[in-house]
C-alpha cells in the first residue's frame, strides 16, 4: 500500500492563534501586575528597590505563563502527536510573538525618547547610570524571552500529547 506523505505539516492558523492568545494573555497579566504594583507602591526609598525586584519577577512569571498558554494552544491546534513537530510550532509561535513584542517595544521607546529629546532639547546626553540601566533591562529581557521560549515548547509538547 502506498504511503501518504503530508507536505504541509506546519499549521499556520494554530501558530497565529497561539501568538494572539499568548500576547493577549501577556497584556492581561501585565495590566494585573501594573495594578497590583501601583496599589503596593510606596514613595519610601527602602521599598522602591523591592518594587523593582517584584516588577522584574512579575514580568518573568507573566511571560512564562503567557507563552505557556500560547504554546499549549498551538500544540493542541497543530493536530499532531509528534512532540518535535509541536515544539517546532511553538518555536515559530514564540518567534512571531517576540518580533511583535520587540517592534511594539522599540517603537514605544522611540516615541518616548523622541518626545523627551524635544522637551529637554537636542543636547541631551545619556548618562552612565541610564546606560547601565538600559543594559540591565536588555539582559533581563533576553532571559525573560528565553524562558518564555522554553515555556512555549514545553506547553506545546504537553498540548500535543492531550489529543
For residue range 79-128, list pLDDT tens digits in order: 888 899 999 999 999 999 999 988 887 787 666 666 666 666 554 555 66
pLDDT band at 39 (very low <50, low <70, confident <90, very high): confident
Q: Does some domain include residue 3?
A: no
pLDDT score at 135 = 74
User: Nearest to residue 66, comparing CAs of 121, 143, 145, 158?
Assistant: 145
User: Nearest to residue 157, comparing CAs of 95, 93, 73, 92?
Assistant: 73
Q: Does some domain include residue 2?
A: no
Structural domain harbouring 53: 13-161
Query: How many angstroms separate the Cα of 22 from the Cα of each of 13, 43, 91, 142?
Result: 14, 33, 13, 18
pLDDT score at 119 = 62
Instruction: Report the distance separating Cα 135 and Cα 127, nearest Å.
Output: 12
Which tops the pLDDT comparison, 138 or 59? 59
Grid-cell match 501558530, residue found: 15
Q: Does some domain include residue 5?
A: no
Count of domains for the chain: 1
Q: Does some domain include residue 103?
A: yes
pLDDT digits (tens, 9 = 90+) for 83-96: 999 999 999 999 99
Examine the pLDDT at 143 and tell me if it is beyond 90: no
Amino acid at each position: 500500500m502506498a504511503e501518504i506523505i503530508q507536505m504541509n505539516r506546519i499549521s499556520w492558523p494554530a501558530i497565529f492563534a497561539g501568538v494572539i492568545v499568548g500576547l493577549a494573555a501577556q497584556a492581561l497579566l501585565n495590566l494585573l501586575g501594573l495594578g497590583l504594583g501601583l496599589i503596593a507602591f510606596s514613595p519610601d526609598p527602602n521599598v522602591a528597590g523591592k518594587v523593582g525586584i517584584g516588577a522584574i519577577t512579575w514580568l518573568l512569571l507573566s511571560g512564562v505563563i503567557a507563552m505557556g498558554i500560547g504554546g499549549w494552544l498551538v500544540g493542541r491546534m497543530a493536530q499532531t502527536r509528534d512532540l518535535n513537530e509541536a515544539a517546532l510550532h511553538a518555536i515559530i509561535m514564540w518567534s512571531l510573538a517576540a518580533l511583535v513584542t520587540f517592534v511594539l517595544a522599540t517603537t514605544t521607546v522611540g516615541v518616548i525618547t523622541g518626545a523627551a529629546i524635544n522637551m529637554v532639547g537636542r543636547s541631551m546626553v545619556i548618562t552612565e547610570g541610564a546606560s547601565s540601566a538600559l543594559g540591565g533591562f536588555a539582559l533581563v529581557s533576553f532571559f525573560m524571552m528565553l524562558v518564555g521560549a522554553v515555556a512555549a515548547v514545553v506547553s506545546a509538547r504537553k498540548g500535543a500529547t492531550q489529543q
